[in-house]
Structure 1
Amino acid sequence: MRSRFSATLGVALSLLALPAAVQAQSASLGDFPAQSVERQALDRIVAVVNQGAIMDSELEARLAQVRGQLAGRGIQAPGEAALREQVLERMIVEEIQLQRAEEANLSVDETELNRAVRSVAQSNGMGLEQFADALEADGLSLAQVREDIRRELLLRELVQREVASRITISEREVDRFLEQQGEAGDVRYRLGHILVALPQSPSSDRVQAAQREVRRLAEELAGGADFAALAAAHSDGGQALEGGDLGWRAAGELPSLFVDVVPGLAVGEVSEPLRSPSGFHLVKLVERQGGQGMAAEAQRQQARERLFQRKVNEEIETWLQEIRGQAFVDVRL
C-alpha cells in the first residue's frame, strides 16, 4: 500500500505486496481485449521456485510498491538492477515459505483474518468502510489487501510452527538475564542493520570476499555515506528495503551478537564489523530511550518475553537461509 497507511498487525507487515491478478488457465484469448492479450503475451517467468514461478508482472507490481515505500521513508532507492535483485530475492523467500505452509496444510481462519483487517484499518484511524474507500482512491481494493494480510498471517503461523515452537526459556535463563541486565533492563534502542551474508559452510574465498565487502561498506559509512541508502542497496538482511531499520529493541531483546556492542555506541555511531554464522554485520545506534527502573513484580515476566523474542529473532535468519538453500531456485532476470 502507499506509504500513508501504517499497516501493523502486532507483527510488522513489512510489505503488502500487490501481485498482478493471475488469469484463469481455462480462459480463452478471445475473452480479453487486444491490449490485455498483448500484456499477457509479454509477461514472462523471472524465477522458478521449486514447482512454482514468479512472473515479471508480479515483480513489477512489487517494485512499484517498494519504490513508493522507500520514497515515503526518504530513503534513496538503489540502482534499478540492484533493486530488482533485492525485491526478487525477497519474493523468492516468501514463495518458499508459502509453499512450506501449503505442504503443512496451514490456513488462516476467516474470523482471525477479519479481525486483522479491522486492526489494520483502525491503526490508520479508519473504520472498515473508510479504509476500503481510501484503498480504492489509491487504485487498490479491500479484497486485494485482505489476501495480502492473509498471506502475512500464514507466514506468521509458519514461523510459529517451525521456529518459535522449538524455543524454550528456563527459569535459570530468566535469573541470569535479570542479573545481567540490572538497571539497563529498561533501556530501548532503535537500530539500523547491514548484513553481508555467508552461506552455510562457506569457503575461505567466500569469507574473505564478504570481509572485503563489509569493510568497504564500513569505510563508506565512515566517509559520510547514508546508512539507510547503503542498507537498501547492499544489505542481505530482511530489513534491507526498509533501510536496514530494525525498529526499537529493549536491552533484553538485542541479538546476542549485539548485546556487548550496542550499549557502548553513541547515538549515530556504527559498530565495527561483527561476525556471526549468518555473515558479517554492521549495526548503527539510531536512537536510545529509557534507563528508569520498572516495577519489580513485572520484571520476571518481561524478562521471559524478551528472552523468547531474542531467540526467535536469532533463529529466523538462520531458518530462512536454511530453507532458501534447500529449495530449487532458477532466477531468470
Structure 2
Amino acid sequence: MIRFRTLAFVAATLVAAGAAQAQTKIAFANDWKWEGPAAPFLLALDKGYFEEAGLDVTMDTGKGSLDAIPRVAAGTYQMGAADINTLIKFRDQNPDLDVKAIFMIYNQPPFAVVGRKSLGIETPKDLEGKILGAPAPDGAYAQWKAFTKANGIDASKVTIENVGFPVREPMLAQGKVDAITGFSFSSYINLKANGVPEDDITVLLMTENGLDLYGNVVLVNPAFAEENPEAVKAFLAALVKGFKETVADPAAAVKYVTAHNDVAREEVELERLEMAIADNILTDEVKANGFGAVDMERLTKSMDQIADTYDFQSRPTAEAIFDPSFLPPAEERMPD
C-alpha cells in the first residue's frame, strides 16, 4: 500500500511538472508605467487567468510606444501594448518587420491637448501664439500635424517645446508652457495633483476635434504568433476576462494596479481608470462588437487621415496592421 501511494505521488508530481513545463512563456512589454487603465492586464495576471490558460506571462513597464514596438518587433518581448497609429508609421518605415496588432485596447484613443483656461486655452485655435509642451515620443504629439490640419491651426504660430514626460504637467502647472500633449486621463489627473484647479483645466480630446483614430493595441511578434497561435489566442481569451471584470467593478480592479505600483494612490488611479473606461474602452462600437475588435473600414479611414500629414513610403493596408484571427468569438467578447 505504501509503495502504491508512493508511485501515485511520483506520477502526480511528474504530471504536474509536465504541465508546468508545457506552459508557454510570454514576456509582455507595456508602453507605460502601471496606472489605472492597465487594470485589465494586471487583474488577469494576478488572478491567474493566463496561468490557467497554460501561459507563463511576465509583464514589464515601458517608456512609450516608440519603446514598446521595437521590443516586440525584435522578439525581445513576444507581446506588448502600443499605439496603433505609431505602429502604422513604424510598419511603413520598417516594412520587413511584420509586427501586428491583434487586440484593440482603446477603441477611442485618449490623445489630447490639455491646457489651462487661465492661460487662454479653451479651443484648438487658442493654441496659436502659445507654447505647447510635447515629449517627442508622445503618442498624442504624433498626431499634432493631423490635429492642426483638422482644426485650421496655423502651426507656424505655435511654439513646440520638447519636454520630458516627468516634467510635462508640472511645467503647465507652473505656467512655463500654455498647453501640453498627452493622454487625457493622465494629464488631467496629474495636473490636479500639481495643484491646478479642476475648473481651470481644458481637455481637448482629439477624437472630439476632427480626428477619428483608434488607440492602443496589443501587439504580437510575427515569428512567435506563427509558432504559437494557440498561445496567442489563449492570451487574448484570458485578457478578455480581465476587461470584463474591470469594466464591471473598476474599484476592485484598480487594486491590482496599486499592487504593482508602490507610489500609486488608489483613489487617483481609480479616477484615471474610470475616465478611460468611459471615454476610451467601453464605447458604443465596443458595446456592439465586443472587446478587442476593429472596424477595418474605420481603420482604413484613420490611415487616410494620417496620410494627410505623414508621407507614406509604402503605405500598409489595414489588414497588414490588424489581424483579428486570434480574437475569441464575438459572443465571448461582449461586455457583461
- Normalised by the size of structure 1, how large is the TM-score? 0.23
Higher relative contact order at CA 8 Å, sep ≥6: structure 1 or structure 2? 2
- Normalised by the size of structure 2, how large is the TM-score? 0.23
